[in-house]
Chain A
């Protein structure tokens, strides 16, 4: 126990920093919402609730009990992975933070964000296919190579893994069905195909881990890996089901009789700077 104390101490410090950042994001969001309300503009309460839920899930995933347990138990790690990489991104992305930023920030700042998003490299990065590759590809790389074993001993690799889960998860969710505008986003059919492949790849990874007892080179018992692989399979189903529902909700609205009226303000705001 003594030998672990330094490690645990530094670990809890970095967790504290991560939690501060998450809390900071939530505060920024709430300040922006308050400013919207003050200037008499409407902001959907469900968006706020969604973003709040996303940050709450991140809090649960990063807080001490689960974070400490996940060092020793692959099931806890998998729960953390599902929360950080799949469920929290759903909450955060459906809080439409970019739309809120566009509305709240000064025009000049909004234009710079738009310029960044229209950059060719960024457009390429936020394309559903590349988001899919970085999201699912990252998981294959992590679990089917010795990389996962390395994250157990190298703290920087460990932080990077969590950050990658979060960023790639948010990118993918945004690219597939996010309410925030994204330049160069392909049509619903293409996004559905990418989502279809993503669900299949995720389920297959769960089975591969189950069969070949990946990740190798870890102190985890076989039973633990079997349970974690099934966690991944069924937990992933749940998060992906929500994403499929989100995508079909967009489809349903577009087919509606008033679809032109239902065009989000975000799209208009996004296109305005380019026209002027």
Chain B
């Protein structure tokens, strides 16, 4: 059973597919929880420069496509019996953490699209936001390392 899985499995593609889903899920959490449910994030705030507006549109589009692309890539991997779950989970966490950090640093601070919350001292929010991203990213990297060592053991066992 294990050897047949090894013959077909595609770690790189599994990682990528799940990373795309991780990115899109985190973007979805941002949109649903922080924009809609809590109402902390604003649709737009006055400090956004024009270039931020355009890049926001491109990013939004990329998130939408990443969600669909990730799911279809996973479906395709499963159909070809090429899904490597350990790599996929690692990719998923790297995607989530990577996006959270990107959102926290580039979107909120560099492009100033919007802030996490308004009318409060932002520092603790920013710290927690980016720390959460770091933790997710760290979990993903650890999982990557474990997937790599497991694959190496399986390879040497053959």
A residues contacting B by CB (< 8 A) are 192, 195-201, 203-204, 207-208, 210-211, 230, 233, 237, 240-241, 244-245, 248-249, 251-252, 255-256
Given contacts A200-B61, A240-B64, A241-B68, contact A210 B43 (CB under 8 A): yes
A196-B61, A200-B61 as given contacts; A208 in contact with B53, CB under 8 Å = yes
CB distance from B8 to the nearest CB of A (A): 13
Asked whether, in the complex, the Cβ of A207 is within 8 Å of the Cβ of B61, the reply is no
A selection of 29 A-B contacts at a CB cut-off of 8 Å is A192-B65, A196-B58, A196-B61, A196-B65, A199-B57, A199-B60, A199-B61, A200-B61, A203-B60, A203-B61, A204-B57, A207-B43, A207-B44, A207-B53, A207-B56, A210-B43, A210-B44, A211-B53, A241-B64, A241-B67, A244-B64, A245-B68, A248-B68, A248-B72, A249-B72, A251-B72, A252-B75, A252-B76, A255-B76
Q: Looking at chain B's contact residues, is the secondary structure mostly helix, strand, loop, or mixed? A: helix
* Residue B62, interface by CB 8 Å: yes
Q: Could you tell me if B79 and A256 are in contact, using CB atoms closer than 8 angstroms?
A: yes
Q: What chain A residues lie within 8 Å of B56 (beta carbons)?
A: 203-204, 207
B64-A201 in contact (CB<8A):
no
Dominant secondary structure at the A interface: helix
Given the complex, which residues of B lie within 8 Å of A245, measured CB to CB? 68
Chain B residues whose CB sits within 8 angstroms of the CB of A192 once the complex forms: 65
Beyond the given pairs A207-B43, A255-B76, 14 more chain A to chain B contacts, judged by CB atoms under 8 angstroms and listed by A's residue number, are A192-B65, A195-B65, A199-B65, A200-B54, A203-B56, A203-B61, A207-B53, A208-B53, A210-B44, A237-B64, A245-B68, A252-B72, A252-B75, A252-B76
B146 CB, min distance to chain A CBs, angstroms: 30
Question: What residues of B have a CB within 8 angstroms of the CB of A244 in the complex?
Answer: 64-65, 68
Closest Cβ neighbor of A241 among chain B residues: B64
Chain B nearest CB, measured from A95 CB (Å): 22
- Is B69 part of the contact surface with A, judged by Cβ < 8 Å? yes
Given contacts A207-B44, A255-B76, A256-B79, contact A201 B68 (CB under 8 A): no
**CA A204 to CA B51, docked complex, whole Å:** 11
Q: Which residues of the partner chain A approach B57 to less than 8 Å between Cβ atoms?
A: 199-201, 203-204, 207
